Amino acid sequence: MMQAEDSTLDWLAKAPLFSNISRGHLKGLAKSGTTTTYRPGQVIAQQGERGIGFYLVVDGELEVRKNGRRVALLRPGSFFGEMALFDDQPRSADIVAVGTARCLVFNRYEFWGECSKEPEVLRTLMQEMVRRLRSPTPGLSE
């Protein structure tokens, strides 16, 4: 499926996460990504459940909910699922499509196989993960 892989490669090349990686080096990763479309309100990941996906948002907006309360909005170019990628623990938040949304979905073992050799990608993943972990968790202090 040449065409599907081409547009996957375009999305990857546009994402800030891969800004230091050449298109040539993204080809392997493009092969392992699947585009999935979500309905408005669809729950893509559930807090407390296990999941093996790593996701890159390519279209639409996704709400991040912790303990039922919105903590962030993810837009095209952003990613989620990096926490379970690093620690293999259950999802730390719900991810819900606001309107129709589209993501590139990777099996996180395949994603790790492609990206663990790229220090700049790891650094961006970790930097954003730490930023998220530092943000206050609603419902903890009340």
Bridge partners of 57, per DSSP, are 103
Q: Copy the structure tokens of residue 28.
A: 């392997």
Supply the minimum distance, in Å, between the C-beta of residue 135 and ligand CMP. Answer: 4
Supply the minimum distance, in Å, between the C-beta of residue 24 and ligand CMP. Answer: 28
x/- track of binding to ligand CMP for residues 49-68 (CB under 6 A): ---------------x----
- Region at 51 (left for phi over 0; alpha for psi -120 to 50; beta for the rest): beta
x/- track of binding to ligand CMP for residues 93-122 (CB under 6 A): x-x---------------------------
Supply the minimum distance, in Å, between the C-beta of residue 27 and ligand CMP. Answer: 25
135 lines the binding site for ligand CMP (CB under 6 A): yes
Supply the minimum distance, in Å, between the C-beta of residue 48 and ligand CMP. Answer: 10
Residues within the interface to ligand CMP (CB under 6 A): 45, 64, 71-72, 80-84, 91-93, 95, 132, 135
